[in-house]
A and B are shown apart, each in its own frame.
Chain A
């Protein structure tokens, strides 16, 4: 089973080969990075049936858990890794039109994808920090490499905030280590007891960088600048890949480390309350900011913050329904955001404008992309027939069932959804408005196929939620029973061959 580390080794091989290959052939970087994502997808799908039957742990360096580092391959983590690789592959396909990116761009992008996958898989808090930093450094460079002149300003602001949060994570790691003597999530989860105040501080410090990456309320101020600076493919990756990975890590830490049975029990409860409150505020602030924003990329970035707010509320609720909703929302958000950003990229390329208000009537010249934009917007809004509907429905259902503070979270989600509906309708309407815009219609073959595929991904689970059934059920079961599942498998190394 230790072979499953190949999931990370494929992109790593690509990363190390790219600088050599680019010396001889300039397009080598794009080719090899796409090939490595494809290899990851194929290998992940190949592993999936056996993992669905039973999760496995991968031991690195032949040192069994508390001493060495282990990765955990479960339906949840493997599913999200496949999602991350597929997202990266599709983003690369939509970007095929764009020539002239250097080999280093693809090197950094592959590192970013590898780090996001590693964050989802790893079972060690310090290893998590290392993967976070690899992804962080790659994304600082990639944001600034976008064509926008604002790139370095947005990237610097992101860098400073991300470094402060990741340093606080390091402090949290060492606090936990000095209290318990281990760094492994599974061992920590079945630890005796921690002092409640200390446990809350350590867990909050540990979660800070992931709250930053998923743009939760006090840590969302970097969003505008970074999305403005990044080019469209990387903006799509930030909300599609980085936010997915951060959401997955929050799920893992909150539900495994901070579950009521573990030593972090009482602190875990406070962390969940905090996530509901912050998530609710984020929905309102994110959707509100997107509502007033005129720049296309920034609008989509703030809308991504709103979606992550709903996901945070769902993680805070931590019921069976809410978690199923969160999984639907993660899938929906990734696919929809890639679709929306690719449409935004296409439109700003053909019109030369950055604001959506300036793209009046563009949908009459490009009807298919504009219609697909409307479809993606409807999926995010949660119209029935799209997977976003089931996500929001499940989260709201469980919030109303729980009552108390959860009502406030549900209210925030509903109010935010109204804002979301209004501005997405405004944007879609603008595209089809009558205007004297005159553009020559060109064909973009690399746009249509992936965009249609993404629309299908959004529709299929919405129409037939049962196709995701086995995955969602297995993942929710795994996340809600950490002691008998996750911890047991890692500590007995069951499944390790």
Chain B
């Protein structure tokens, strides 16, 4: 048994060495042709995302992007957000569906069971938790609504709000009904789909931005991104809360 195990270790080690050798051979291959990292920023599609010229790539050489000016094709100052919610919005819809599938899967597979450990939280915890919760919710909302200006957005913001739900659960053992989360998830999902279909019927393309983009860098700009991120935030928060609820178990 023991020898068998060390044989597996040696085989696995050799496999890893072999994989590394293959990668080394590929990355140091000197034959002509494009290889990893050969595309400079100028040759990548991101170049046009950064300059906000994806809708019309043939711009004059000295394209200027000015903070505070309006009329750009996408109003988000955070380019990652612009890509996630605008340029590649279908991926984000898919991402939301992945979480949706995971939360539905956990709900489907997690059979009802009793919690084993039931201890009362100490007064220190019960006093501190409401304050921390309030803080977490405020930070979460801030991150959701500043997704177009600073790092963050619906996903991290939703996760922070779900963490507020989790600590309240640890301190007070209060659980919301699963149906509440299900309905919230569905409504937010329908909202995202509705935004997509609204784009289809106003601009002629699914998930197209049909709202004003506003001034670049202003707090209230990129209305379409803000609304979509708010919906994603609701959806992520309720999905993660429902997963947490399933993992914690019934009373």
A contacting B, Cβ–Cβ less than 8 Å: yes
Q: Chain A: residues with CB nearer than 8 A to chain B?
A: 2-3, 5, 9, 12-13, 15-20, 23, 58-64, 66-69, 102, 104-105, 107-108, 111, 114-115, 118, 126-127, 130-131, 133-134, 137-138, 140-141, 144-145, 152, 175, 177-183, 191-199, 201, 263, 497
Q: Which residues of B contact A108 (CB under 8 A)?
A: 101, 104-105, 108
The reply to whether B38 and A179 contact each other, CB–CB distance below 8 Å, is yes
Among B48, B90, B183, residue most surrounded by chain A Cβ atoms (within 10 Å): B90
Is A13 in contact with B193, judged by CB distance below 8 angstroms?
yes
- Interface residue from A18, A179, A193 paired with B36 (Cβ < 8 Å): A179
The answer to whether the Cβ of B113 comes within 8 Å of any Cβ in the partner chain is no
Residues of B194-225 contacting chain A, CB below 8 A: 196-197, 199-200, 203-209
Query: Is there contact, CB below 8 Å, between A127 and B34?
Result: no
Check: B29 CB closer than 8 A to any chain A CB: yes
| With A137-B101, A198-B35 as contacts: A126 and B91 at CB distance below 8 Å | yes
Which of A63, A118, A137, A192 is in CB contact (< 8 Å) with B105? Answer: A137
Contact A67 B45 (CB under 8 A): yes
Say whether B9 faces chain A, with CB atoms less than 8 Å apart.
no
Q: Are A61 and B101 in contact (CB under 8 A)?
A: no
Q: Which residues of chain B from 84 to 135 have any CB-CB distance to chain A below 8 Å in the complex?
A: 86-91, 93-95, 97-98, 100-102, 104-105, 107-109
Contact check, A141 vs B101: say whether CB atoms are below 8 A apart.
yes
**What CA separation (Å) do A130 and B189 show in the bound complex?**
17
Q: Are B26 and A63 in contact (CB under 8 A)?
A: no
Q: How does the 8 Å CB contact mask read for B149-193 relative to A, with 1 for contact and 0 for none?
A: 000000000000000000000000000000100110111011001
Q: What's the Cα separation between A351 and B34 when bound, in Å? A: 61
A194 to B95, alpha carbons, bound, how many Å?
31
Q: Which residue of B lies closest to A19 (CB)?
A: B182
A-B contact pairs, 15 of them (CB 8 A): A15-B97, A20-B187, A67-B55, A107-B104, A126-B88, A134-B98, A137-B101, A177-B39, A179-B36, A194-B34, A195-B32, A198-B26, A198-B34, A199-B33, A201-B23
A residues less than 8 Å from B2 (CB atoms): none
Judging by beta carbons under 8 Å apart, are B205 and A62 in contact? yes
Q: Would you call A17 and B205 a contact (CB within 8 A)?
A: no
Complex Cα spacing A141 to B54, Å: 39
**C-alpha spacing A105/B108, complex, angstroms:** 7
How many Å from the CB of B26 to the closest CB on chain A? 5
Interface residue tally for chain B (C-beta within 8 Å): 63
Given contacts A5-B200, A67-B54, 19 further A-B contacts (CB under 8 A): A2-B200, A17-B186, A60-B205, A61-B205, A62-B199, A63-B54, A108-B104, A111-B104, A127-B90, A130-B95, A133-B94, A137-B101, A138-B105, A152-B109, A181-B43, A181-B46, A182-B45, A197-B31, A198-B36
Docked complex Cα distance between A126 and B206 (Å): 18
A residues near B185, Cβ cutoff 8 Å: 19
User: Across the interface, do B98 and A195 meet the contact criterion of CB distance under 8 Å?
Assistant: no
Contacts of A182 in B (CB 8 A): 44-45
With A20-B182, A181-B39, A193-B34 as contacts: A145 and B101 at CB distance below 8 Å? no
B34 touches A192 (CB 8 A): yes
Tell yes or no: B61 within 8 A of A by CB. Answer: no
- Residue on A nearest B92 in the bound complex, by CB: A130
Tell whether, in the assembled complex, residue B36 and residue A183 are in contact, meaning their CB atoms are under 8 Å apart: no
Q: Which residues of B are in contact with A by a Cβ distance under 8 Å?
A: 22-23, 25-27, 29, 31-39, 43-46, 48-49, 54-55, 57, 86-91, 93-95, 97-98, 100-102, 104-105, 107-109, 179, 182-183, 185-187, 189-190, 193, 196-197, 199-200, 203-209
Instruction: Give complex CA distance A107, B239 in Å.
Output: 14
Q: Smallest Cβ distance from A115 to chain B, in angstroms?
A: 8
On chain A, the residues within 8 Å of B95 by CB distance are 130
Which of A15, A18, A66, A197 is close to B26, meaning CB atoms less than 8 Å apart? A197
CB distance from A140 to the nearest CB of B (A): 7
Kindly identify which residue among A102, A138, A193, A263 contacts B101, using a CB–CB cutoff of 8 Å: A138
CB distance from B211 to the nearest CB of A (A): 13
A196: B residues at CB distance < 8 A: 29, 31, 33
Contact across chains for A140 and B37 when beta carbons are under 8 A apart: no
Q: Which residue of B lies closest to A114 (CB)?
A: B97
Given A3-B200, A178-B37, check contact A16 B43 (CB 8 Å).
no
CB < 8 Å neighbour of A127 from B45, B94, B108, B199: B94
Among A20, A63, A115, A193, chain B packs the most CB atoms within 10 A around the CB of A63
Nearest 8 A-B pairs (CB), nearest first? A141-B105, A181-B44, A130-B94, A181-B39, A195-B33, A67-B54, A16-B189, A62-B208
Contacts of A64 in B (CB 8 A): 55
CB distance from B71 to the nearest CB of A (A): 16
Q: How far is the CA of A463 from the CA of B77 in the complex (A)?
A: 62
- Minimum CB–CB distance from B147 to chain A (whole Å) comes to 17
B194 to chain A, nearest CB (A): 10
Q: Are B109 and A60 in contact (CB under 8 A)?
A: no
Residue pair B37, A104 in contact (C-beta under 8 Å): no
Contacts of B26 in A (CB 8 A): 197-198, 201
Complex Cα gap A175–B91 (Å): 19
Residues of A within 8 A of B39 (CB): 177-181
Tell me if B100 and A15 are in contact (CB < 8 A). yes
Enumerate chain B residues within 8 angstroms of A263, measured Cβ to Cβ. 33-34
